[in-house]
Amino acid sequence: MKDRSHDEAMAKLFQANPSYADELLAEVRRTGDKDEMAILRRQLSPDLAIKSTRSGERKN
Model confidence pLDDT, tens digit, residues 27-52: 999 999 999 999 999 999 877 656 65
Reduced to 3 states, what is the DSSP secondary structure of residue 32?
A: coil
The chain-wide mean pLDDT, for the chain, equals 82
| CA–CA gap between residue 7 and residue 56 (Å, rounded) | 14
Instruction: Report pTM.
Output: 0.68
| CA–CA gap between residue 42 and residue 22 (Å, rounded) | 15
